[in-house]
Amino acid sequence: MTAVSLTVNGRSATADVEDRTLLVALLRDTLGLTGTHVGCDTSQCGACVVHVDGVAVKSCTMLAVQANGATVTTIEGLAKGDELHPVQAAFREHHGLQCGFCTPGMIMTAVDMIKRHGGKALDEKTIRHELEGNICRCTGYHNIVKAIEAASAEMAGMAQAAE
């Protein structure tokens, strides 16, 4: 067993884990953060995406011990209290989810995607290409693409207004 210390959603956490424990198992089983899901075990579906030190990571493909000292944000830590992140709000507004299982990973991926593109409004082609690592079986992606388009445009507008 190895002791791991990390910050998750702004709170420090420490746990003794087996060396083989995956980050997603630490989040779900030890810390009780069950919003991050496991959909495929092979790093394909993206239901497990979280942010580690500000970068989107598939938490089913990272060992918990690799996250020692890291700052992790999960879907539970994205909203500020009752105020939804613009991407969360856009998924609801545009019906970008049905069963909700892929949704946390989709949202965490979208937040990272918008950030990596410099916070500018994203077009359909870019969004579809960037969603290569996230699988949804319910929506046919149509409304997910619309939600991310809208959220990126809104965030770009907010950034411009702030300047």
Chain residues in the site for other proteins (CB under 8 A): 18, 20-21, 25, 28-29, 32-42, 44-45, 47, 74-76, 78-79, 84, 88, 91-93, 95, 97-104, 107, 124, 127-129, 131-132, 134-145
Nearer to other proteins, 116 or 160 (CB): 116
CB of 29 vs other proteins, minimal distance in Å: 8
Residue 84: partners with Cβ closer than 8 Å, 6 or more residues away? 92
Nearer to other proteins, 135 or 156 (CB): 135
CB of 53 vs other proteins, minimal distance in Å: 20
Nearer to other proteins, 20 or 161 (CB): 20
| 15 touches 8 (CB < 8 A) | no
Nearer to other proteins, 69 or 99 (CB): 99
Query: What proportions of the chain, in percent to the nearest 5, are helix, strand and coil?
Result: 40, 20, 40
CB of 45 vs other proteins, minimal distance in Å: 6
Give the orientation angle of helix 103-116 with respect to helix 86-93, to 10 degrees.
120
Phi, psi values for residue 4, rounded to 5°: -125, 130
How far CA 61 is from CA of 74, 93, 135, 159, in Å, comes to 15, 31, 16, 33
